[in-house]
Amino acid sequence: MKKLNCTHFPSCSGCDLLDLEYEEELKEKWGYMINLFSKFQDVEVLPVLGSNPHSNYRHKLQLTFAPEQRKGSGIVLGLHTKRRDKILNQIECKIQDEALSETAWALRDWANDLGLTGYNHFKQRGFLRFLSLRKSYYYNTILIGLVTRDNSRIYENEIEDLLKKIYSSFKTKSLKEKISGIIQAVNSEPTNMVLNTQERYLLYGQEKMKDRISDIEFEVGLDTFVQVNPFQTEKLYEVASNYFNSSDSVLELYSGIGALSLLISRKARFVTGIEINPNSVQSAKRCAERNNRTNVKFLQGDAGNLIKLDSLSNHNSCLVDPPRSGLSYKITRVLSERKFNKLVYISCNPETLERDAVNLRREYKLVSITPVDLFPHTEHIENIAYFESR
């Protein structure tokens, strides 16, 4: 496979490894995982499951608006530089979905035509702050989130102009992408958190769109957690669910919108998902009902507390999918006390996975690690670690 060339590499923060051929990148990531887990005796680190395609795979974007440095020359839109000293005015990207990139560039042109201002983080002024885009892999719909500093409204005729500009920008007409919704989210706080707000206005269409993983249909909103690479998501979830069978009652911690719980429920006897975000739990319950799954339920609350409930004591297996920070001390302690027969750990951070594996090693044996490349051309690598009770 040939190397990918991009105007913005290597200064852009989006890619780290664009100068490597993809086969070489996979070898480097595999070697890194073997070295990181060399202290664990008899653990099998399987070869990395590569992504096909390995370009234009990102179905979620979060870009930043900023004023052009030359006074009065409009706004820029893109990612930070690696030095974090400015926002690149992107004209291409090799890892973003093409239709999402075209939507972003058309939206920048529209904003410049209207004379809208980009947000200056240091002076804390300017209107447009961030752009959040999501695309449904299965249905080819796009959800747009415009994050603004205040609640000044964008008029209906301006949205009509935006839609015309977006549709005329699509180079690949056969893809038939449709804009499912445009949402204005207000964020006046001096923070880099993109969707750090509850004040939202629906400017067009719907607030959520539908997508599918395998035969499971679910809802996606602007802040719903869904893996950004849909070409690898089903592969990741298939590997994880294959560890379970009809003798397993599975407790999933950090279950999100419940897509993986529902996939596991096809093989396991029963699945209980625990998630702290109430909106995600409601989405998961609707998802279970929509997909006619009766051997799965979802609970809202802190996993470290709910895992101790007597009503969940009959669960003999566990799956965890924590954030990059890994497992909290409380969760690690409870997992050791409960001592599940099987523990499947999906990790987006090899270093915190290694730390947690060390903390769990007295009660659990690390059997295998399956790296799955969800983020080609970056240093990130997703992993599925399988533990058995000692």
Give the number of other CB atoms < 10 A from CB of residue 124: 11
3-state DSSP call for residue 344?
Answer: strand
Q: How far is CA 358 from CA 45, 76, 332, 341, 349, in A?
A: 16, 45, 11, 18, 15
Retrieve residue 99's tokens: 């239709």
The dihedral sign for the CA sequence 192, 198, 200, 206: positive
For residue 102, give the H/E element and its range.
helix 98-114
Strand partners, 388: 342, 365
Q: What is the rounded CA–CA span in Å between residue 30 and residue 32?
A: 5
Retrieve residue 354's tokens: 């290694």
> In the prediction, which pLDDT does 3 show?
83
Amino acid occupying residue 344:
V
Q: What are phi and psi of 146, to 5 degrees?
A: -100, 115
What's the pTM? 0.93
Residues of the chain with pLDDT under 70: 1, 71-73, 172-175, 196-198
Retrieve residue 380's tokens: 């990130």
Instruction: List, for residues 324-382, the tens digit of each pLDDT value.
Output: 999 999 999 999 998 999 999 999 999 999 999 999 999 999 999 999 999 999 999 99
Active-site positions?
348
What is the distance, to the nearest Å, from the Cα of residue 112 to the centroid of all Cα atoms in its chain? 30
Q: What is the rounded CA–CA span in Å between residue 190 and residue 122?
A: 9
Residue among 25, 119, 104, 10 at smallest CA distance from 60: 104
> In the prediction, which pLDDT does 27 show?
97
Residue among 59, 44, 1, 89 at smallest CA distance from 374: 59
